[in-house]
Structure 1
Amino acid sequence: MGIGIRSRQLRIYELVLKSPTCLFYGVAGAGKTNILLTLTRDLCKKDRPCLYVSTEETLHYEKVGKQVEDYAYTLFTEVYSLDKLLELVFHTSYMNFQTLVVDSINSLYRAVAYEESSLAKFTFLMGFLRNMSELKGLKILASAQVRAGEEDVEASGMSLLDYYFDTIFQVGFEENKRFVKLVKPRYKATPINYFEINEKGVVWM
């Protein structure tokens, strides 16, 4: 696999494989999209077609274009409203995708959080995805935007994300190094892996 990890505690890749729903959240530029693209490259094969949904206009098509064969079984699409994302997810329930990737899952909710119906729509979205994961075996991989404070970093709609996702990772910077830290489920010793990004994707340290 192109995403090998050397960790004495837990292997992020193994956790992703075992978990029906995985979320990566962190500050802008931390590497969330690159992690999702690398996972997509490695997981999506002929017997496991994937749908990759971008909501941020940040999808690195040039990186995908350089590795076309690696993404041969992934359909890429973009949506720019919460209603369109709901519609797409609903139609996905009739399709044969084995993995759904959403980058990022809360950005469209953040854009309309002031609207009265936005929370209900976002809650329905999360519940519907969870239902497809449990009933159809659809694996869900997603990233989430965050609001950064002086002392904390928290994803918008985090209470819902924490409720519906089985496995959650924080992505960030530590002493000029990129890291992925397991947040859920919690262990006595929190597993942390460091990584770099090159033209082909994520390289684990």
Structure 2
Amino acid sequence: MGIAIRSRGLRIHDLVSKSAMCLFYGVAGAGKTNILLTLTRDLCREDGPCLYISTEETLHYEKVGKQAENYANTLFAEVHELDKLLELFLQLSYMDFRILVVDSINSLYRAVAYEESSLAKFTFSLGFLRSMSVQKGFKVLASAQVRAGEDDVEASGMSLLEYYFDTVFQVGFERDKRFVKLVKPKYKVPLVNYFEINEKGAVWV
């Protein structure tokens, strides 16, 4: 077993900066939203404009409000239906955002997975984002929910998510510590960073 690389978040920030589509998945409460907010703050402060879409009412507006100057280049939106999310994605072709953040990208799909057209809509939305990322050069950051009650930590629609996202991280707990582990691309030596959450967001330790 290789020794995990622990670099206080520097390597993760570097990978995210170089990635066209970057995904964080994990259990509820692991810190996915805080990581996305922190990355949005750091990346969009100078490289805006950015669009942050919340689909599950987990956005911490109090943290955004306390650092309003750091999110001046970010537009926040809430979407609660899969069709509305897809409609908003389609409108991106007429917008000029540098970074799109979706928290979480599979929650609305999970809610209607039983519907016949839901898988097609979810697949189309991921493919469209990938195409737009290539054509317009914007970055996509997203989180993904994990199925409740599963022994293995896996997000709903994970096979599709892994196909379309070029960088994938797992977020979770290890001995009461929060961690971020690189899942894709794979390295011989695992990349694992630990972090804490405070009033400003995720802080690497």
Into which bin does the TM-score normalised by the smaller protein fall? over 0.9
Which residue does the alignment assign to 1:70?
A: 70
Rounded Cα–Cα distance in structure 2 between residues aligned with 1:156 and 1:201: 26
Name 2:55's counterpart in structure 1.
55
TM-score (norm 1): 0.94
CA distance in 2, matches of 1:9, 1:188: 19
Unaligned runs of 5+ in 1: 1-5
Alpha-carbon shift at residue 10 of structure 1 (Å): 7.3
8 Å CA contact 1:9, 1:191 repeated in 2:
no
Q: Which runs of 5+ in 2 are unaligned?
A: 1-5
Return the alpha-carbon distance in structure 2 between the equivalents of residues 8 and 96 of structure 1: 32
Structure 1 residue 190: deviation in Å? Answer: 1.0
State the partner residue of 1:111: 111
Q: Identity of aligned pairs, percent?
A: 79
Aligned to 2:124: 124
Q: Please give the alpha-carbon distance, in whole angstroms, between the structure 2 residues aligned to 1:64 and 1:107.
A: 22
**Is the deviation greater in 77-86 or in 143-152?**
143-152
Residues 9, 80 of structure 1: alpha-carbon distance in 2 compared, 3 angstrom cutoff: closer
Query: CA separation in 2, counterparts of 1:129 and 1:196?
Result: 31
Residue 97 (structure 1) aligns with = 97
Cα distance in 2, alignment partners of residues 9 and 74 from structure 1: 22
Residue type of the alignment partner of 1:187 = Y
Aligned to 1:176: 176
Give the superposition deviation at 1:48: 2.2
Residue in 2 aligned with 1:13? 13
How far has the Cα of 1:45 moved from its partner? Answer: 3.2
2:138 corresponds to 1:138: yes
- One-letter code aligned to 1:120: A
Is the alpha carbon distance of 1:34 and 1:122 closer, same or farther for their aligned partners in structure 2, counting shifts above 3 Å? same
Which residue type is aligned with residue 17 of structure 1? S
TM-score (structure 2 length as normaliser):
0.94
- Higher RCO, 1 or 2 (CA under 8 Å, sep at least 6)? 2
Q: Which amino acid letter does the alignment assign opposite residue 67 of structure 1?
A: Q
In structure 1, what residue type is equivalent to 2:172?
A: G
| Runs of 4+ in structure 1 over 2 Å off | 45-48, 148-151
Within 2, Cα distance between the matches of 1:79 and 1:148? 22
- Per-residue displacement from partner, 1:61-87 (whole Å, max 9, x unpaired)? 011011100000000000000000001
The 8 Å contact of residues 168 and 184 in structure 1, kept in 2 or not, is answered as yes
RMSD: 1.7
Paired residue type of 1:138: F
Deviations 1:98-135 (A, max 9, x none): 00000000000000000000000000000000001111
